[in-house]
Amino acid sequence: MTKINYFLSARKFLVVAGLFLIVNGAIFYAAEASKVKLIGKIEGLGHSWLAFASYDFDQLTTKFYYSKLSKFKEEQIALHHEYSDLELRKGGYIAFGVNETDKIHYMRVFSLDDQCMLFFSGQSELLLNNVSMRCFY
């Protein structure tokens, strides 16, 4: 027992630094594992749109890429939105934007299975031009 006490007292700094690194590594791993990432693609009406979304703590980031199917590489439109406050509703959510252009965003969510969902933006009708399908990855 005295050998262990002598070892710990002689190397207190190293023991404390090692414990500090282990705890920080566990916290970093838990933070990375808590992020939710969704990706999806819809094709219809002669257009294709890709949707990427990530939710990290209370920050929602979405990216959309729209293009015509005939000119996929030439005419892409990219949209990037960041939202800070989310108010969850049954079957959807309302997000409040960080900057002036993205003030309020309303989404209705319909689960297809355990992996994929349909997201309808706005309070208009459920149409193909305001839907995106996103799956966990």
- The CATH number for 103's domain is 2.40.128
* Average pLDDT value over all residues in the chain: 77
Q: Which residue in 66, 67, 63, 36 sits closest to 52, CA to CA?
A: 63
pLDDT at 53 over 70: yes
Answer with the residue of higher pLDDT: 137 or 34. 34
Alpha helices in the chain (DSSP H): 2-10, 12-33
Q: Are residues 121 and 65 in the same domain?
A: yes
Q: How confident is the model at residue 7 (pLDDT cuts 50, 70, 90)?
A: low
- Per the structure, how many domains does the chain have? 2
Q: Are residues 9 and 70 in the same domain?
A: no
Q: Are residues 104 and 66 in the same domain?
A: yes
Phi-psi region of 131 (alpha: psi -120 to 50; beta: other; left: phi over 0): beta
Q: Are residues 94 and 51 in the same domain?
A: yes
Distances (CA, A) of 63 to 38, 41, 77, 106: 11, 12, 11, 16
Mean pLDDT of 27-38: 81
Residue 4 CA to chain centroid, in angstroms? 47
Q: Are residues 41 and 105 in the same domain?
A: yes
Contact 46, 69 (CB under 8 A): yes
Q: Are residues 29 and 77 in the same domain?
A: no
Q: Are residues 28 and 44 in the same domain?
A: no
pLDDT at 130 over 60: yes
Q: Are residues 71 and 86 in the same domain?
A: yes
pLDDT at 33 over 80: no
- pTM value is 0.58
pLDDT at 98 over 70: no
Q: Are residues 125 and 67 in the same domain?
A: yes
Q: Are residues 65 and 131 in the same domain?
A: yes
CA distance 92 to 90: 6
Q: How confident is the model at residue 3 (pLDDT cuts 50, 70, 90)?
A: low
Q: Are residues 83 and 108 in the same domain?
A: yes
**Parent domain of 76:** 36-136
- For residue 83, give the 3-state DSSP assignment: strand
pLDDT of residue 1: 52
pLDDT at 18 over 80: yes
